Amino acid sequence: MNRYKQAFNIILTIFFLFFSQLNAQKKFVIVLDAGHGGKDIGANRKYDNIGLVQEKDITLEIILKLGRMLERNKDFKIIYTRKIDEYPSLIDRTDLANRSHADLFISVHCNANVKPSPYGTETYVQGPDQNRTNLEVAKRENDVIFLDTKDKEMFASYDPSSPESLIALKIQQSKYLESSLIFGGFVEENFAKKDKRFSRGVMQKNLHVLRLNAMPSVLIETGFISNPEEAAYLASENGQEEIAESIYNSVINYKKKIDRNNQQKKVEEPKEQPLKNDFRILLMSTPNKYNDGDPALKGLNYILTIKENGLYKYYYSVTNFASIKESNLKTAKDAGFKNAAAVSFIPNQNMNTGYYRIEVYAGKDKLPNASPILKNLKEVEKTKADGMFYYTYGEVGSLEAAIRLQKEIEEKGIQNTVIEKVYK
């Protein structure tokens, strides 16, 4: 191959990779999970007329039929937890779904009862107590959690152990639950209306295969193997085809609905306008000084402390968006500050009747002359009150200037300082 041809081929490859990448990003990823498999047979019954009916075979047949229908649609990317008679563990199945950043997880099963009479379909979504389990898992496996852009804006840094992150995860889990309920509703509706099946409805239950998923997820019980008539239907080519088609229709209904919702959101929600003032959440006022990470701050980060008339006021976060203010307030209350309240600050306002300074030290003992504070800062003022020594530095007109000054001091290695508001 000559050099030009080689170069041309490289360019072609780059183009191909680039465009296939572009395409891959847009696809709606669906994980199809055929329940059981391999040594795990699932529910099974032996009948005189149709012989041995095994859940693992029926679920695989339905999933393969469903997959073939979905794969014809270029908008979908289909991932199978199994395509043959093998047994991936439940953890393998959810890991695959989470790693694939899937948009929807569909697990197909068959029901069974000790009595032959029960029949019909049911679709399960994550149970009511499951949120907590998910959060526990998410705290450990934080790479499994994919916050969307809006959540990311609200919860700037993701620290899985902080209350802010837990709130973000709770919001995310309830979004998944809502979507799962919508999809589950379509599945049961299609079974009932199209296939004239008896729908037992959409239910919530703590099921292992749904528990760890970071996406809308359902588990469909397609019918009772223990009921002779339904077993024959489940084992038949026609029955499996109908079930696959009903689930396929539900995916289409669901995708249309979320596309419409996203479209509507864009139209209905013009970008939120910022407010004139900044809002901080006042957590508490106390004569006690707490440094970053003190248990009294209950794990909250982004704390600004302002001393005023001898009291330390602890403020959490800052924003000029009303929606974020509300969610910050909720975060503070959920963290345990029941009396937390939003306080408005006029940006860059100069104090007419006083000034701001930085309290660089407060303690029972005088600072030694060799202390880094006295060595690094010139013109530190010392006052004594009620047996305590206070060292302060600087004089600026606005809170913003005080925050900048505090930052400069921090860069010199002086930590745990407090902004003090002084009235003349």
> Which residues contribute to the site for Zn ion (CB under 5 A)?
35, 42, 109
Least gap, CB of 137 to Zn ion (angstroms): 22
Minimum separation from the CB atom of position 200 to Zn ion (A): 15
Q: Are 357 and 398 in contact (CB under 8 A)?
A: no
What is the nearest approach in angstroms of Zn ion to the Cβ of residue 35?
4
**Sequence-ordered list of residues with C-beta below 8 angstroms from that of 386, at least 6 positions apart, any chain:** none
Nearer to Zn ion, 42 or 185 (CB): 42
Give 28's strand partners. 76
Least Cβ distance, residue 112 to Zn ion (angstroms): 8
Alpha-carbon span 411 to 117, nearest angstrom: 75
Is the CB of 109 or the CB of 280 nearer to Zn ion? 109
How many whole angstroms separate alpha carbon 29 and alpha carbon 131? 23
**Of 222 and 250, which has the nearer Cβ to Zn ion?**
222
Shorter beta-carbon distance to Zn ion: residue 112 or 402: 112
CB of 118 to Zn ion, least distance (A): 15
C-beta closer to Zn ion: residue 42 or 223 = 42
Pairwise CA distance, residues 126 & 190, whole Å: 21
**Burial grade of 290 (CB within 10 A; 0-12, 13-18, 19 or more):** middle
Q: For residues 71 and 33, what is the distance between their CA atoms, to the nearest angstrom? A: 15
Q: Work out how close the CB of 188 gets to Zn ion at its nearest, in angstroms, rounded to a whole number.
A: 18
- Which residue minimizes CB distance to Zn ion? 109
Query: Of 350, 351, 345, 348, nearest to 278 (Cα)?
Result: 345
Q: Is 23 exposed, middle or buried (0-12, 13-18, 19+ CB in 10 A)?
A: exposed
CB count in 10 Å sphere of residue 138: 22
Nearer residue to Zn ion within complex by CB, 103 or 122: 122
- The DSSP symbol for 143 reads G
